[in-house]
Every structure is written in C-alpha cells, then in structure tokens.
Structure 1
Amino acid sequence: MSDPELHAIKSNVHVDDLNVKSILSNRGITINVDHEIDSDEAMILALGYKQEFKREFNLWTVFAVSFSVLGLLPSIAACLDYQQLVIGASPVPWILAIIFITSVALSMAEVASAFPTSSGTPYAVSQLAPPSIAPIMTWLTCWSNWLCQITGSPSVNYSGASLMFALGTYNNPSFQPTVGQSYALTLGIQIVCSILTSLPTKWISRINSVGTICNIAFLAIVFILILACNKRQEIFAGDSDFGSIPKFNSNGEAWGLYNQTEWPTGIAMLMSFLGVIWAMSGYDSPFHLSEECSNASSAVPKAIVMTAVGGGVIGFMFMLAMSYTIVSLDLITEDPQNLGQPFVSYLAQILEKPIVNTATAMTVIASFFMGESCMVSASRVTYAYSRDGLFPFFSGIGAKVNTITKTPVNAVWINFVIGQLLLLLMLANDTAVGAIFSVGGIAGFVSFITPIIFKITYSYHTFKRGPFHLGKFSRPLGFLSVSFVVVMIPILCFPYVRGGDLTLDAMNWTAVVYFGPMLMALVYFLVDAHKWYKGPKSNLDEGTITYAVDGIPEEYEKESKEKQDSSD
C-alpha cells in the first residue's frame, strides 16, 4: 500500500471503536480475520461486508471513471434537444443549474466519505433515517438509484448510435436509418461495452483512464475547432434568409434567452435544466466504486467534487463557444437534412464538411467510453443491491463475484438484458425513448438527496463525519440541495406543449416511466417485502463475529445465539 493515509492494523476489528455508524454498530461486535488488514478493509468490514474486490482504483482512476461517465462532449451533444432547443443557446441556464448541482454533489460527497460502500446512498439512508421508516426509505432509494443506473448506458449508447447514423446521413443524404437499424447498432455497442466491463478491475481502470484522456482531449479539440474553424459566414453567404452575418454572435444574441416552449420563460428555463442535469449526472459514480478504491473515504468524495466542479466549469466554456457561434436554432429544429441529431446539425451550420466529420467522430468515440463507464458504475450498483437481497428474482446471481476477474460479471449482463428491454421504447416513438433521459435525471436526484434529507434533520446531531466534510456549511448546502431537487422533480415531468397541442406523441412520458416502477416497488414492499427486507445486510461469516459479554443489547445477544444454534 503506497498511499500514506493507509496503514496496517490488527486483524481484530472492533466496530464501535471506528468512527462509523453501520449495520453492525452499537452491538459490541468484534470481527476476527486471519490476515493483516489496512484501514480500507477495516472500514468495509465495519460496514458489514467482506472485502471481495481488489482495491486497484485510486483518486485519479476513480475520477477517470467518473469523468468518463460524465462524458461532457457526448452529453452536450445528446442533450441539445433538452436545453438549447428549449430556451436557446445562452449559457445562463448552465450557470444556474451548475450552482445547485454542485451543492448536491458536495452534500453527497460528505455522505460518501462517511459510508464508503458500493451500496451508495441507500446504505446511508438505512443509517440516517428514523428506525421506524428506515427499511421502506432504503428500499425506495435503492430502486430509484437502480433505475438511474440501468438507464444510463442504454441512453448513452442510443445517443452514440444516433450520432453515427447522423454522420452517415450527412455524408449520404439518401441514407435514412430505420428503427431496426438503430436498435441493432445500439445493441452492438452495448455488447462491446458489456464485454469490456466484465474484465478485471485493473483492465477496467486502464480502459477508463484512456477514456478520460480521450474525453478531455476530444472536448478540447472540438472546442478549438468550433472557434478556430468557424466558417458560418462562408456557409451562409448568399442565403437570402440570413443575409450577411458576422463571424460570431453579439453578446445580446449569445446570452439572450429564446423560449421555444408554450410555458413562461422562467418555467422553460427550469425545464432546460434537464440537459445540464443529464450531462452532469455521472458525479456519483465514485461512490459505487468505493470498495475498489484505495483510501476510499478520502479519495471517493474528492473524486465526486472534482467531477462536479471540473465538469461544470469545462461545460460552461463549451456552452459559451456554442452560444457565440450557433446560427439558427429554428433551422436546427426544422432539420432540413433529416440528420435526426441536433448537434451534427449545429456543427454543419458553422464548419466545413471534413471538420464536421472529424468533430462528430470524436464525439462518437467519447460517447463509447462514456457508455462503458456507465456500465461499470451500474454493474457495481446491481451487485451491491443483489448482495442486500433487493431483487426477488436474481439477487443470488447478481451478488456473485467472478472468481477469475474478481468483478461482478453476472451483474453486468443482467444490466445488459434490462437495458435492451428498455430500448424497445424506441419502437414507440422518439418521445417515449427520450423519457429514458428524464428518468435518469429524476431517479438519480431522488436517490442523491434522500440521505441528505435525513443527514440535515433526524441525524443532524448523530451523523459521524468522514475525513471529507463540509463543516458549518453542511446544513445550509443540504437544505439548498433538497430545495432544488424538490422544485425540479415536477418540472422534469412537464411536457413542452400544453392545451390543445398536447397529444400522446407530444406527452412527456417521464412520469409513467419513473413513477410507474416506483409505485410498483412501493406496493411490493407493502404487500410482501416488508416481511423480509430490513435494509442492507451483512455478508460476513458468522464465525468471524464475536459479541462483547458486557453491555451488548439483549436482542443482539439472543440473535447471535440463535445464529450459532442454527449453524450447529
């Protein structure tokens, strides 16, 4: 262990001596292991879990996964529909949204430092919520976070396939992809991502480091191309609809709002936050890699903050370049070339054909790495929740770690199958499959703020902070985060039209795609799951646990005796 903050400790872990509140706390428990362990393994044992993964991630590599999941270039390309084509190209909505998103990220980083486990926010909820409602709140947080995770890779890879087809149509206008072709290409990308995600942690770490370098480099290159190779004057020369246009938009045009919805401008701006929320939705990934990260209680929250702050600043710079170069949002909406991808339409307005091909190809490559990173994060979540017995049909399969790769291969392919089923929504229409984007935003936000709610209320005076904490700003930032999410949840369900223009095709199906499964999860808990689901459960061998003779609560002494009798 080269990390100076890690140190070897005795083989016996006295849970109550560690600064952690866990499913084993306050029970006088000592965990006996047959080898020397470091502080990382001591922490995960105290949280109630075996150390089953190799800790081959560090601050940089876990940030690499997180920034790759963020995938700013492909995310901005995928979300043009949900931001620029709602309120205009102004960077103002990005600035406002990033302020609140960073607040959420900081609050979640503080939680991650205290509970560095792959289970993520649900584990924190189980320890921070009042005992009477902890099981149901943990259950709902699990399902919400899982919905966020399993929709991530399919939506990213669907977007990547759309970029590839748009490039094909751009170079050959007679080519128009069918729904079947779109599904098949997305399927192929999903298969490759799943294979890569099934590799050992060391290889995944290297792949994601390459992916992060590509994401950063390609973002910088496309940013430079947009500004340095801007040929919009030449491209629109002689066009009677535009006349003579300057090389860059004026400050008023670049920063002005252009409401393209039937809602008031303030509501439209809030609706445009979906683009920012989705583009910035990867900052929670380090939380789910905690059990594979060295010095997790410090490195993981730092990676979360680095991703949110770095992504916000870099994204703003890119949005600024777009706002000063975009020619016509109306023309992008009309899509006269039938490209089906607004970002490629935007590039075609300002760049010559070879540069459009180069910039789009880079975006496709970045999108692939983003999809693979999303798959990595999602597989760890499925594994962790299977370990806790969340899923009625495949928990036993999903909780197994492959003996060769030491990674949750079963969870990877479970997610693959579910992702392909979700992508069948594209057979309905673009609005239906677009709901996957909105679902990822709402589902993630709900799971992010649930532990924050209890941290700043019920557990405010008992919360045991980790090495990373917000000090006196913890509660104010917590309330700011919760307030933002409470406002945004209904906003993200708004359709872009209303009144007589609201048809089934124009409807926002997010409420159905998200709240439908969540309602079923709630009903299932009330009818059956409440009988057996009590929250996260330890997978430690009972033989490694001993209880203190003095001071142990009677119910835990009885529970220990019953377990021992059953094993005998």
Structure 2
Amino acid sequence: MNLGEFDTLSSTDSVSKPYDSSTETGEVTFRPVYRDHVDDAEDLARLGYKQSFHRGLSLFGVASVSFSVLGLLPSVAATLNFSMLAGTPGMLWGWLIALVFVLCVAASMAELCSSMPTSGGLYYSAKVLAPKGWGPLASWVTGWSNYIAQLCFLSSCIYSLSNLLIYAADEFDGKDFVIKHYHIYFLCLSFIVVLSIMASLPTWIMGKINSVFTFLNILSLLAAIIIILVSVSMRDGFNTNMGVWSHFQNQTDWPIGFAMLMSFCGVLWSMVGLDTSYHLVEECASASVNAPNGIMLTALVGGFSGWIIHLVIAYTIDDYTAVVEAHNLWVAYLIQVLSHNGAKAVIALTVFSNFLMAQGVLITSSRTAYSYARDGVLPFSKWIARINKRTTTPVNAVLLNCSLAALILLLIFKGQYATDAIYSVCGIAAFVAFIIPIGLRSFVVKNSKFSRGAWHLGRYSKLVGGAGTVFVIILIPILCFPTMIHPSAIDMNWACLGYSVPMAAVLLWFALGAKHWYKGPKADMPGLDIPRMSSLKNDAVHHRDSSHSTMNSY
C-alpha cells in the first residue's frame, strides 16, 4: 500500500457514500482507490450500490464478451458502404486516423471505469463529474444517448446478420427468388428469440460460452483472411501499392477530404462496443483493474484487426465500382475474389461471427437497461430491474431490449435508407455518450478533485481525453451529411432525425417532469461521509504509527 498517495482507509471506515463532485469550497473530497484490489463488493458499496451479480468474469471473460461485441468480420462486412466512400486510400488512411482518436476515447473511458467501477458506467461518471447542479441533466443525457446507441446497435447487428444470410442464400441458390422486406424481418425475429434465451443464462455459463466463442471468433477471422489471401494469390494476384494507397475513388458528391471524414462512420460503428467491459464491471473480478484492461484490449486488438481486414480488401478487390453498387457489398466482394466454395466458406464464417456479435451486444445492452432501471431512469423500472433468482441475470431487461429491437427493425419496411440510418444513429449516440463524461473530466474537473483508480493516465489524462472529445465533436455533424449534395428522400441521411427525435423527447420529459424527481444515479446502501484529503493524511500517519491500526481491509 502507498500511504503517500492516500489510497486506503482503515478497517473502521466500513461503508462510504458514493463519490460526489459537489464539494465544499476549499476542501477536496474523493473516493479511495484500491491498487491491491481484494473486495469488489466493498468497492461497489463505496459507489452506493449493493452487489447483485455473481462476479464470474475474469479479464479474459470480460474481454471475450467485448471482443464478441466488436465482431470485426461482420462489423467490416456491415459497414463497407461507409468505409468505401473514398476508395481504398480512404479505407486505409481513414481507419488509421480515426483509430488514433478512438484509442484516446478508449483510454479515457478506461480511466473513468477504474475510478468508478459500476455497471451504470458513463452516466454514473457524468453525474459525478458535472458541475454542481448539472449532474442530473448530464447523467440523464448520457444515459439515454447510450441506451439509444445500445438499442440501435442490437437492431443493426440482427439486421446485418439476417440481411447477409438471406442475400447470400439467394446468391448461391441459383433460382429467381424475390426477397421481400418481411422475409428479412421475420428472420430477424427468429434470431431475437434465440439470442434472448442465450443472454438470460447464468453469468458463469455465459463467461465459459463467450470464452469458447472468442476463440472461435478469432479462428473465423484468421480463416477468412487466409482463404482470401491464398485464393487471390493463386488466381489474379494482388493490387499494386500505388493503386491501393493513392488511387482515391470518391463515391460522394463532396470533396475527397470530406468523403474520407464521412467514411469514419464505419470505424465508429465498429467501435460502438468500447464500453462493453464498463457495463460488465459488476460481474467482473478485480473490476477496477480488469475492466479497464478489457476496454483497452478491445480498442487495440479490435482497431488494428479491423484495419488489417481493410488492408486485405484493398489489396485484393478487383472491380471497386461493382462492389460499391451492390446491395450487399461484402457478398459482392467475396464472389468477385473467391471461388464459389471459397465465398460460401467466408460468408458462413461471417454469419457465425455476426451471431456471436449480436449475442454479446444483447448481453451488454440488457446490463445497461438493468443499471438504468435500478436508478429509476426507465419507465417500469421496478420490473426491469428485477434479477432472476435462478439465473442471477436481468432477464426482464433482456426481454425489454429484444422487444424494442423488434420495433426498431420495423424500419426494414421503409427501405435501405431507413436501415442505414440505424447504423449512423448507433455511432453518433454512442460517441455522444462517451464524450460527455470524458469531456467533463478533460475540460471541467480539476485534477485535484478527480479520484483516479488503479488504472489511470497520469499527467496525460486531460490531453488524451481532450483530443478524443474534440475529434468526436467535429465528426458527428459530418456523419449526418448525405453522400449527395441535392439528395432525394431515398438518398437522404436520416441519422440526424433518427437521433434528435428520441433525444428531444427525453429532454422534453426531463424538462416537464423528470427534473423534479430524477437526481442522478441512486445509491441503495446507507453510507458514511467520505473523508477529506486533509483528514485522510492524518489517518495515514496514524495508521503508520499506531500499533492498533489494521490495514487488511483492502
């Protein structure tokens, strides 16, 4: 233990209140940090919550769920219509540029997760870090934006899974079969039923399943890359370096630089699951260390693996324009570069990874709904926040999210432009939720008033968080632009409307009623005052000098 940094309390300080940024003038209050983490339940108690879940997830377990949520192969497949807007140079340079700033967001999120390891995640952090009097509003906006992102992410994963499967089957069937909207929708409903059953299993079973799934997911990714590379090398060979890195092909009516910025939507959608480990933190052992490491592993491994897939596509694609104009770009690309059986094999691997991705997203989104309902944010919160006694998982939250996803997927009947908006809304809503607490930490909260956890960025905390925040603020309006300067209704980008309408509704709800009863995340445990910095210094000296002190609590 490092008493010089005042990271411990005595065993007599049994429980404390959740950390609050509304401190007295001239005094600094803070939540103690446990570098040698032993009791996760006590750490959670200091944030104001009782332990409800079984902590059956290790670092590998929580990283497994996070990696499944990223679903790199299906993520790339589902977002090629965004990432290919500027040609192969846009795919490669665009992904790398965006990834640098996404890693900044991930690192700042990991720091917050270590400081406040509760499944409420970002919206709990927003309440804590907001200026006095603004906590409830900051928490409300963050929570609802994140929840909208989770629902859209779940819906888009299920849609991409069904769309890929049904169009691949049609492509290889050889018969004239007209695919209707209801075919895709009812296939989505079938997947929803299966996924809801899997997401309701006990945590320890899910941990083991996802550990196996992660291994299979990685094998699927490697197998797909190897099949493509071997097949292309034996047939037509690879594209030249000059063409891959410098031959831009603008698929929009905007300048090429703007088209590259628009292509970042593919990166953002692929990285929407960055906060997965944060939402699973109450089911994770040694949470203040393992959950932040899970966030960073997700960002690093996922980010660079996604870039490698784009690199493979850039060097192997034959007719770029034909792929861009296809209904399902991934299927069109595979048919172009692989044999009949090779394309079938890679599509099968993609469908399998997509299913794992959807399962991970449902697990995460149900934990998000549970944590919000626990604090009374959602309608019918008492019912949603019930933990099933047999499985010790939030089954009601799973059912809620599956039902809402089924409603969102009704947009399938409005056509491709409506379903594309689900992807854009997902990325925008998620990163808005990400940067609210990160921006508050970077630009509002002083270092002396931030209680850092075992995982932190040290002196670079504000610089890293500020870079990620500014990047997202600049990028979000760009992602709302259509690809055409004078679009028709079909070509319009409906992401702005898709995000602003539900957010306007929840803000109106807050202004007209919720502000009178919603005060931010609730604490369900009684507590003691968190000691001030000066008093903790005295306690540290006392513990060091007194023979009666006990330092074995944490």
TM-score, reference length from structure 2 = 0.88
- What do the CA deviations read for 1:299-354 (whole angstroms, capped 9, x no partner)? 0111100110111111122211110000112111333xxxx311010011110000
Q: 1: CA distance between counterparts of 2:498 and 2:209?
A: 32
Mapping for residues 471-486 of structure 1, pairs under 5 Å: 471-486=458-473
Match of 2:484 in 1: 497
| 2:438 matched residue in structure 1 | 452
273, 277, 283: which one pairs with 1:282?
A: 273
Tell me if 1:431 matches 2:421.
no
Corresponding residue SS for 1:531: helix
CA contact (8 A) 2:114 2:292 kept: yes
Q: Deviation of residue 232 (structure 1)? A: 8.6
Q: Please, which moves more after superposition, 291-300 or 130-139?
A: 130-139
Deviations 1:260-279 (A, max 9, x none): 10011111000000011111
Separation in structure 2 between the aligned mates of residue 548 and residue 472 of structure 1, nearest angstrom: 25
Whole-Å Cα distance in 2 between the matches of residues 285 and 549 of structure 1?
A: 32
Residue of 345, 370, 377 corresponding to 2:357: 370
1:434 is displaced (CA, Å) by 1.2
Which residue of structure 2 aligns with residue 361 of structure 1? 348
SS of structure 2 residue aligned to 1:282? helix
Instruction: Assess if the C-alpha contact under 8 Å between 1:23 and 1:536 holds in 2.
Output: no
Asked if 1:95 corresponds to 2:69, the answer is: no
Would you say 1:526 and 2:511 are equivalent positions?
yes
Contact preservation (8 Å) 1:149, 1:378 = yes
Q: Indicate whether 1:132 and 2:154 are aligned.
A: no
Judged with a 3 Å threshold, the aligned counterparts in structure 2 of structure 1 residues 191 and 25 are, in CA distance, closer, same or farther, namely farther
Residue 248 (structure 1) aligned with residue 238 (structure 2): yes
SS at match of 2:272: coil
RMSD (Å) for aligned C-alpha atoms? 2.5
Query: 1:287-366 residue pairs with structure 2 within 5 A?
Result: 287-335=278-326, 340-366=327-353
**Mapping of residues 373-388 of structure 1, within 5 Å:** 373-388=360-375
Change (3 A) 1:131 1:548: closer
Alignment pair present for 1:506 and 2:494:
no
CA distance in 2, matches of 1:428, 1:537: 40
Q: How far 1:65 sits from its partner (Å)?
A: 0.4
Structure 1 distance, partners of 2:297, 2:233, is 35
- Given that residues 67 and 283 in structure 1 are in contact (C-alpha distance below 8 angstroms), is that contact kept between their aligned partners in structure 2? no
Determine if contact 2:323/2:329 at 8 Å carries over to the other structure.
Answer: yes
Residue identity matched to 2:44: I
**Partner Cα separation in structure 1 for residue 471 and residue 266 of structure 2:** 15
Give, as a single letter, the amino acid of the residue that structure 2 aligns with 1:383: Y
Once the 2 structures are TM-superposed, how far is the Cα of residue 546 of structure 1 from its aligned partner? 6.1
Is residue 117–residue 288 contact of structure 2 (8 Å, CA) maintained in 1?
yes
- Answer yes or no: is the 8 Å Cα contact 2:86–2:256 preserved in 1: no
CA contact (8 A) 1:397 1:410 kept: yes
Contact 2:16 2:48 in 1 (8 A): no
C-alpha displacement at 1:88, in angstroms? 3.8
Q: In structure 2, give the amino acid aligned to 1:332.
A: V
What's the CA shift string for 1:478-519, capped at 9, x where partnerless? 1100110001110111111112xx111111110111011111
Instruction: Answer yes or no: is the 8 Å Cα contact 1:387–1:539 preserved in 2.
Output: no
**Counterpart position of 1:65:** 65
CA distance in 2, matches of 1:84, 1:301: 32
Determine if contact 1:23/1:48 at 8 Å carries over to the other structure.
Answer: no
Q: Is the 8 A contact 2:127 2:521 kept in 1?
A: yes
Alpha-carbon separation, structure 2, partners of 1:71 and 1:334: 24
Counterpart residue type for residue 291 of structure 1: E
C-alpha separation between the residues in 2 aligned to 1:232 and 1:345?
Answer: 20
Aligned-partner Cα distance in 2 for 1:548–1:466: 16
Q: Is the Cα–Cα contact under 8 Å of residues 78 and 343 in structure 1 kept in the other structure?
A: yes
Distance 2:99 2:428 in 1: 16
Distance in 1 (CA, whole Å) between partners of 2:143 and 2:15 is 28
| SS of residue matched to 2:481 | coil
Identify the residue that residue 260 of structure 2 maps to in structure 1: 269
Q: In the alignment, which of 178, 200, 203 is matched to residue 201 of structure 1? A: 203
> What is the match of residue 468 of structure 1?
455
| Alignment partner, residue 553 of structure 1 | none
Look up the equivalent residue of 2:252 and give its one-letter code: T
Q: Which residue does the alignment assign to 1:259? A: 250
Structure 2 CA distance for partners of 1:310 and 1:344, relative to 1, 3 Å: same
Partner of 1:565: none
Map of 1:112 onto structure 2: 113
Q: Which runs of 5+ in 2 are unaligned?
A: 1-7, 30-36, 533-554
| Distance in 2 of aligned mates of 1:24 and 1:14 | 19
Could you say which residue in structure 1 is the equivalent of 2:220?
218
Cα pair 1:70 1:370 within 8 Å, conserved: yes
- TM-score scaled by structure 1? 0.86
8 Å contact from structure 1 (residues 66, 303) kept in 2: yes
Matches of residues 221-240 of structure 1 in structure 2 within 5 Å?
A: 221-230=223-232, 233=235
Question: 1:539: which partner in 2?
Answer: 524
Match of 2:401 in 1: 415
Asked which structure has the greater RCO (Cα within 8 Å, sep 6+), the reply is: 2
C-alpha displacement of 1:547: 7.0
Q: Output the CA distance in 2 between the equivalents of 1:222 and 1:490.
A: 35
Q: 1:331 to 1:255 in 2, by over 3 A?
A: same
Task: Return closer, same or farther for 1:357/1:313 CA change in 2, 3 Å cut-off.
Answer: same
Residue from 432, 442, 448 that aligns with 2:428:
442
Write the letter of the residue equivalent to 2:182: G
**Is 1:155 aligned with 2:156?**
yes
Q: What letter is aligned with 2:76?
A: I
Q: Secondary structure at the match of 1:420?
A: helix
Deviation string 1:171-225 (CA, Å, 9 cap, x unpaired) is: 1242232110100001111111111000100111122112211221111010011
How far is the alpha carbon of 1:11 from its aligned partner?
8.9
Partners of 2:59 and 2:293 within 8 A in 1:
yes
Residue type of the partner of 2:371?
Answer: A
* Paired residues of 1:232 and 1:349 also in contact (CA < 8 A): no
**Residue type matched to 1:510 in 2?**
A
| 2:184 counterpart residue number | 182
1:164 aligns with 2:151: no
Equivalent of 1:517, from 478, 481, 502?
502
Matched residues in 2 for 1:549 and 1:25: separation? Answer: 11
Q: Deviations over 1:429-469 (max 9, x none)?
A: 11111111111101110111111111122212210100000
State the AA in 1 paired with 2:200. S
Q: Give the aligned length.
A: 513
Task: Please state how far the C-alpha of 1:76 moved relative to its aligned partner.
Answer: 0.4
Cα pair 2:127 2:139 within 8 Å, conserved? yes
- SS of equivalent to 2:232: coil
1:168/1:175 contact within 8 Å kept: no
Q: Would you say the 8 A contact 2:21–2:128 is kept in 1?
A: yes
Q: SS in structure 1 opposite 2:14?
A: strand
Q: 1:512 to 1:300 in 2, by over 3 A?
A: same
